Amino acid sequence: MKEAITKEAVLEALRTVRDPDLEKDIVSLGFVKNVEVSGGGVRAAIEIATPLFPSREKFRREIAAAIAALGADPAEVELTCSVRGRRPREKTESLARTRNVVAVASGKGGVGKSTVAVNLAIALSRAGAMVGLMDADVYGPSTGIMLGAEGQPQTADGEKMLPIVAQGLKMMSIHFLVDRDRPLIWRGPMVHNLIVQFLEAVDWGPLDYMVIDLPPGTGDAQLTLSQKAPLSGAVIVSTPQDVSLVDARKGPKMFEQVDVPVLGIVENMSYFLCPHCGGRTEIFGHGGAKRTGEELGIPFLGEIPIDPEVVIGGDGGEPITAARPESAAAIAFTGAAERIAAELGRRALAEGGEESFFVEW
């Protein structure tokens, strides 16, 4: 006669299943939310911490196999996601329902920082997360064009602005508030006030992630965001050549001074992949960002290839991660977003971060 399976035995079996990013078993991580045993059948509800989990079906099979090893009938495994948020030093009222705030920065202009920010946000949104995008690059706002977003922000209560919604993202930019052809000749205090307004006078609502596109460099705007926004972490964007990497080294130092962890570095324009022959050409050199990350102790988030479709999609309001998710560039952007989400989840769990909202798969 087959011995009856108990809930305790199922939990013990599930301790053999480890999260590949967090490198701990799913019971210790608190991912097992419920186990029901009825006769020879088992139903397990598992909730992980990141919406970008490419091996989730393999993960589901591992869980089912661990339970089957007890002699149970094929298990029913319900796999959901609840994004955790790292608890920052403080939160502004408007961002009280935002779990993670990620700044995308670069030491200099011309490295494709805004393109990276937009496509990271799209990748997180496509995974089912609630995502906002704040364009803090006051002098060179481009995210509105990249997302094909137009119009002027409205207010629901006569006080706070409602963000513009485009490509599934809630977004705000000076692009929506002034004439596109009008140059902004603003001093630092005016830029500071606008950024504070974006943080405190916009009704962002609940968000799992807010991505902030910072202006290049380490000036007033970057310091304002670092001090006023409840940043969970920062991402540095660079290209492979030395002139870019020299400036890229300044970003981590700035964030270190304001106690913001650097989640990693992205090498944009890493190589050109010929659409005709598939040949790879490293136009600007290769591997510089990875070496810089190793020297500074910063995780490497990935290499983004040069692809004409990235430019076409950005100019046409269809970012490549949304328009051509199967392309090499989109896959690279998604891989970087996966690593960022995993690192945020790891940090939040280590610090006892709060839970967010269900994302059903």
Do the Cβ atoms of 274 and 244 come closer than 8 Å?
no
Do the Cβ atoms of 273 and 251 come closer than 8 Å?
no
- Beta bridge partners, 140, equal none
Count of beta carbons in the 10 Å neighbourhood of residue 180: 11
CA nearest neighbour of 339 among 24, 50, 68, 6? 50
Do the Cβ atoms of 166 and 58 come closer than 8 Å?
no
* pLDDT attached to residue 15: 95
* pLDDT attached to residue 17: 93
SS (H, E, C) the chain: CCCCCCHHHHHHHHCCCECCCCCCECCCCCCEEEEEEECCEEEEEEEECCCCCCCHHHHHHHHHHHHHCCCCCCCEEEEEEEEEECCCCCCCCCCCCEEEEEEEECCCCCCCHHHHHHHHHHHHHHCCCCEEEEECCCCCCCHHHHCCCCCCCCECCCCCECCEEECCEEEECHHHCCCCCCCCCCCHHHHHHHHHHHHHCECCCCEEEEEEECCCCCCHHHHHHHHHCCCCEEEEEECCCHHHHHHHCHHHHHHHHCCCCEEEEEECCCCEECCCCCCEECECECCHHHHHHHHHCCCEEEECCECHHHHHHHHCCCCHHHHCCCCHHHHHHHHHHHHHHHHHHHHHHHCCCEEEEEEEC
* pLDDT attached to residue 184: 60
* pLDDT attached to residue 21: 73
Quick: pLDDT tens for 47-90.
888 888 777 788 889 999 999 998 878 889 998 888 888 655 55
Which residue positions in the chain have pLDDT lower than 50? 1, 357-361
Mean pLDDT, the chain, as a whole number? 84
* pLDDT attached to residue 1: 37
Quick: pLDDT tens for 234-272.
999 988 876 667 767 777 888 888 888 999 999 999 988
* pLDDT attached to residue 359: 46
